Amino acid sequence: MNDNMKIKPVKGKERIPFHCQLCGACCRQVEDSIMLEPMDIYHLSLFLRERGESIEGPEDLLAQYTHPDLLAERLPIFLLNTEGPENACVFLKDGRCSVYEARPRVCRMYPFSVAPGDRGRDFLYCLCTERPHHFTGGTVFVKDWCYENVPLEARSFLKEDFAALPILGKNAVTMGERRLKGLMFQFLFYRYYNYDLDKPFLPQFHANTEELKRLTAVPEGG
């Protein structure tokens, strides 16, 4: 993944100068930067299917628009493809996002991001500062911006995902290389592929996550 993103912590009640310039800069030079979460994959697949593209499920979206990578915890992820000399997002067309209604969660939240909260808070907030020309004009409250651009479904997903990923990561690091390789297909299936686009996302995500916890659990005694 791209490690060049500059971020700093901010408080939910902070007022930040920010105005979207509609310039598409945040969609360029994003090679290996836009990680798709299971919820993103589900909604992008559904959006493109309804638009008439040859997408029947997550497997088609992932094959056509993404490439795989590994996190440090050895967990597989999918990153959006880029194209052209500017390494622009594959969905940037004529300077505009062609999947705006179903754009990934990280794009919806820009220039902010969230991390797991502490001391009773759902989330901690961060500000992405690598595009300084955006920070002029109007002002936004951090928490208001995040809640307006991330619907309740996404917040529910994030809270469950933030709770599950440390468990899955610890299990992956603990298990032996041979067992990890043996489980990789199942991990990919339940994490990213096992979704029916004609059924609600959250119940499927919960069931898939519980199955992943069961599959990756380290047996008693090692």
CA distances, 133 to each of 14, 183, 216 (Å): 19, 45, 45
Identify the pLDDT of residue 215. Answer: 92
pLDDT tens profile 163-202: 999 999 888 888 888 888 888 999 999 999 999 999 999 9
Q: At 221, is the pLDDT very low, low, confident or very high (cuts 50, 70, 90)?
A: low
Q: Which residue has the tokens 């993944």?
A: 1
Tokens of 61: 């979206």
pLDDT tens profile 136-162: 777 899 989 988 998 999 999 999 999
Identify the pLDDT of residue 7. Answer: 82
Identify the pLDDT of residue 73. Answer: 66
pLDDT tens profile 30-78: 999 999 999 999 999 999 999 999 999 999 999 999 999 988 667 899 9
SS3 labels along 79-104: EECEECCCCEECCEECCEECCHHHCC
SS3 labels along the chain: CCCCCCEEEECCCCEEECCCCCCCHHHCCCCCCCEECHHHHHHHHHHHHHCCCCCCCHHHHHHHHEEEEECCCCCEEEEECEECCCCEECCEECCEECCHHHCCHHHHHCCEEEEECCCCCCEEEEEECCCHHHCCCCEEEHHHHHHHHCCHHHHHHHHHHHHHHHHHHHHHHHCCHHHHHHHHHHHHHHHHHCCCCCCCHHHHHHHHHHHHHHHHCCCCCC
- Residue 3 predicted with pLDDT over 80: no
Residue from 79, 82, 62 nearest 192 by CA: 62
Identify the pLDDT of residue 117. Answer: 85
For residue 194, give the amino acid letter: N
User: Does residue 89 contact residue 30 with C-beta atoms inside 8 Å?
Assistant: yes
Percent of the chain residues past pLDDT 90, beyond the cut: 63
For residue 191, give the amino acid letter: R
Which has the higher per-residue pLDDT, 15 or 1?
A: 15
